[in-house]
Structure 1
Amino acid sequence: MKRLLTIALLLCVSFGNLFAQQEGEKIRILFIFDASNSMNAQWQNSSKIGVARELMLQTLDSLATLENVELALRLYGHQTKIMPGEQDCSDTELVIEFDEAEANSTRIKNVLRGLVCKGTTPIALSLEQAGNMDFPECDNCRNVIILITDGIEACDGDPCAVSKALKSKGIKLKPFVIGVGLDTSYLGQFQCVGEFLSADTEDSFKSVLGYVISQAVNNTTVQVNLNDIKGRAKETDVTMTFFNQKTGAFVDNFMHTMNVRQVPDTISLNPIYTYKLVVNTVPPVELEDIKLTPGTHNVIEVDAPQGYLDLRVQGSPNQRLEMKCIVRKKDEMQTIYAQNLNTKQKLLVGTYDLEVLTLPRLYLEDVKITQSLSSKIVVPQSGYLTIKKRDGPCQIFVLRDGKQEWVCDVEDSFTPQTIALLPGDYLVSFRAESSISTANTIQKKIMIAPGYEEKMNL
């Protein structure tokens, strides 16, 4: 459990930094926790209930340090053991009523430690009773329900109808679904209730639970629009890194994601900072002096139009090669990426210069990357020159356009050396080490064809 201890510390820091609310507002969080029999199933290195309980205990430790936060706990499936053909669809209970987080966190932890999962899954009834009975009257409260479950409604209730009734009472639902073994076709049953977040590993459970809690205690939300060439928020699947603009300190990483409505997903950030955002495209896009308006939904607009550079080698377009191609912005010396041949890489829309690290070098200028399209570059297939020689200096030159250009030196070795060369005409210059006369220079011309090997003895 050493890794889980680390998680607890991270959650503690995260919640403390993210906590922000309107002056005098009280946040009331009701956990509805699944204690049905299915939670006993094996998951990762433990069971669903084991992992969920451990992370909940650590989350409660973090919440205990926050002011103006009240907690409560409702369980379902914990009282009546499920039997073949029989299930208790009234098995739901508010076991810990609302009280300050510092006191109730300990009470809830004690209940979870002794919890035995037994029964069925009456989600609709649990939500209905939560809305009608669990929240006392309050003039300045933000009410949040966090539903943690590994299953769907099992008692013919209608969570969607209940959700509408609760929202009319000002109760904000934050369902969290442990998606282990949960068919994604059931997604619609939770979308109508609130925000659905699925977790299929222990680590993703940790991340999603942290996100849900931060959303519950922080009403400052952020949406980052990664805009294409037409200004549409269509780009995604890239890591966004947030820094404290003033100190330069790292704040958080988020993988940009389109939610189920195909719009950029919402994240929570502390509004007290001014941020610098680095969108880790190739090359990266930076945005500075980002100020958030507390208590509202903020939208950050970033121009990040992208297309693809598709590098293929003639004759072997699908064989992965370790040979690199240096990618630079047009007329700039700085390397922004070194791409393997026979791969495709997403790049910002623009014009680039390429240097393919073949022998000799292949330079391609003014390569244009267009929005959402692939710019395909076909590199000629190399041939091979195997040289067997005595000790002595040896150099290879390429002959083209009436000029002779140096390609490489050949090492001293009695073992034959094979060198990959682009197709073309070459000259090999050699003098034996034992010779002390320049006139003894040996020069041989040779033509290299794609995919073929030529041999030379010197």
Structure 2
Amino acid sequence: MKRYILLLFFLTSVGLVRAQVQIQRPPEKTRLLFLLDASGSMYANWENSVRMDIAKAMLVELVDSLKVDQDLELALRVYGHQYNLRYKNCQDSKLEVPFAPANHDRLIAKLRQIQPSGVTPIAYSLEQAANDFTNDPEYRNLIIIITDGIESCGGDPCAVSLSLQEKNIFLKPFVIGLGMDNDYRDEFACVGQYFDAKNVNDFRLVLDDILKQSLETTTVSVELLGTDNQPTETNVNVTFYNNFTKAPIYDFVHYRDAQGRPDSVVLDAVLSYDVVVNTIPPVIKRNVIFEGGKHNVLPIKSPQGSLQLSQRGHTEYDKGVNALIRQHGKQEILNVQSVASAEKYLAGTYDIEVLTLPKTYFKDVKIEYGQTTNLTIPGPGVLNANIVTKGYGSIYKVHENGFQEWVYDLNADETRFTMALQPGNYKMVFRAERSFGSKYTEVKEFKIDSGSTVSVKFFGP
């Protein structure tokens, strides 16, 4: 009975783990907040009408068209409409229509009532907008800012926008500038994705473009190219980072089917991405924007080869042997690879430092696309040291040119030890603790061959 219960618990646990595996994709439901500028400048003429009248008419048309989308909820926040410009009220921002299902007619009615009046507190309005959204993982939160001017209340819309995105309050906002100067583009680039509507037709096209990015399914295939520009690489983790907040959004282990075709993944086209192919070293494509509502293909050159490290007798080292892998001429350690293993690296030239005793170096090692580079490290021998009394000293490797390379400092409390050393000529320099004078230093020379054992004894005074 006990065995049956344990088996049932195991099967249930496995089932729970499997149930937790989810397909990575954006939530299907969306909350979209319109943040509308109703400051006094929106009374300005634009083509044959007034900016505010055109903005309201376009939004009314848009909201009416969205009634059929059951996975979308809308809300309206307006700033600059409650107080006259002479009051300079920098908290003039109000959620006029909160999120709710089927609130389209209410939102349209409110839009028709809005009249421009005051200042432009964009930063404050963004801060308040954080309270307009509820925390619900089934929804993605979006903002469309429609404005004809920059912040006029001394706030920092860029800092507020970044902070709220980092807290996952909402995704990167869309900013539509109505008839604004090109110089304002830089002012809003740090707030979100900026669109310049120079005329009424541009405004309509921008709204359509934003809806595609926001509401239509977007798919991406990542093609990992070899040096021949063919999409032959696969089984590499590819990470999509939010280019704005630098947070990782998606992690996919790349897949190609039996015909060699990379599969498609669903992504959120609202964001711009830094796409990182996690080869060693990684390959990065920055600020990638995918076209919403269609299939995108992203080619990234990431040819790999393999490095195989071998050493007979590496188990003689108590902790095994590792190698530090660096790109040629650089100090940064890319990877720590154990001997008797093979790992993939981006095709290129590398410097390799093997942590034998003493260290073994390989410079300008070429790893070629689709090939395996084999490096064989000479096998070590073993030194048995027997010291009658405690003392101090070191082991040095003596090179053919007479150069003496420090290898190891003796432990003053150890009188017997065994260690693996690479083949070569060595000397051990030792002075007993109870020897009162440097002149009592002893030196013993010895040779290590691969697979051999050498004994060295010091008798002391």
Q: Smaller-chain TM-score range?
A: 0.5 to 0.7
Output the amino acid matched with 2:308: D
What is the match of residue 373 of structure 1? 371
Question: Are residue 354 (structure 1) and residue 352 (structure 2) matched?
Answer: yes
Distance 2:404 2:21 in 1: 65
What pairs up with 1:144-163 in 2 under 5 angstroms? Answer: none
Question: Structure 1's 26 and 352: CA in aligned 2 closer, same or farther, altered over 3 A?
Answer: farther
Partner of 1:66: 71
TM-score using structure 2 length: 0.54
Instruction: Tell whether the 8 Å contact from 2:242 to 2:271 is kept in structure 1 after alignment.
Output: yes
**Out of 252, 255, 267, which is 1:254 matched to?**
252
SS of structure 2 residue aligned to 1:439: helix
Inter-partner Cα distance in structure 1 for 2:318 and 2:445: 32
- Deviation string, structure 1 residues 150-208 (Cα, Å, up to 9, x no partner): xxxxxxxxxxxxxxxxxxxxxxxxxxxxxxxxxxxxxxxxxxxxxxxxxxxxxxxxxxx
- Rounded to whole Å, the distance in 2 between the matches of 1:425 and 1:5 is 57
- In the alignment of these two chains, the number of paired residues is 274
Q: Which of 378, 381, 385 is matched with 1:383 structurally?
A: 381
Partner of 2:27, secondary structure, is helix
Q: How does 1:77-96 map to 2 (within 5 A)?
A: none
**Per-residue Cα deviation, 1:261-295 (whole angstroms, up to 9, x for no partner):** 31111111011110011111111111111000111
The amino acid that maps onto 1:394 is G
Structure with higher Rg: it is 2
* Partners of 1:251 and 1:415 in 2: CA distance: 57
Q: What are the within-5 Å matches in structure 2 for residues 34-433 of structure 1?
A: 66-67=71-72, 219-314=217-312, 322-389=320-387, 390-400=389-399, 401-414=401-414, 416-433=416-433
Residue 4 of structure 2 corresponds to: none
Give the Cα separation in 1 of the matches to 2:297 and 2:343.
28
Q: What is the rounded CA distance, in whole Å, between the counterparts of 1:218 and 1:413 in structure 2?
A: 72
Q: What secondary structure is seen at the aligned counterpart in 2 of 1:375?
A: strand
Whole-angstrom distance in 2 between the partners of 1:324 and 1:315? 14
CA distance in 1, matches of 2:285, 2:448: 50
Provide closer, same or farther for how the CA distance between residues 321 and 305 of structure 1 changes in structure 2, counting only shifts above 3 A.
farther
Indicate if the aligned counterparts of 2:216 and 2:292 stay in contact, CA closer than 8 A.
Answer: no
Q: Distance in 2 between matches of 1:257 and 1:12?
A: 15
Cα offset, 1:413, TM superposition: 3.2
Q: RMSD value over aligned CA atoms?
A: 3.6
Is the contact between residue 386 and residue 417 of structure 1 (CA under 8 Å) also seen in structure 2?
Answer: yes
Indicate if the aligned counterparts of 2:391 and 2:413 stay in contact, CA closer than 8 A: no
Relative distance call for 1:454 and 1:66 in structure 2 (3 A) is: same
* Structure 1 residues 27 and 418: CA distance shift in structure 2, 3 A: farther
Displacement, 1:226?
0.6
Q: Quick check: 1:358–1:421 contact (8 Å CA) kept in 2?
A: yes
Consecutive unaligned residues of structure 1, counting only runs of 5 or more, are 29-64, 69-101, 103-216
Contact preservation (8 Å) 1:393, 1:410: yes
SS at match of 2:345: strand
> What is the percentage of aligned positions where both structures have the same residue?
31
C-alpha separation in 1, matches of 2:68 and 2:311: 60
Give the SS at the match of 1:15. coil
Taking structure 1 as reference, are residues 309 and 275 closer, same or farther at Cα in structure 2, changes over 3 Å only?
same
1:393 aligned partner, one-letter code = Y
Letter in 2 for 1:391: K
Q: 1:392-424 CA distances to partner (integer Å, 9 max, x unpaired)?
A: 112000011221111111212345211111001
The DSSP-based 3-state class of the residue aligned with 1:431 is strand
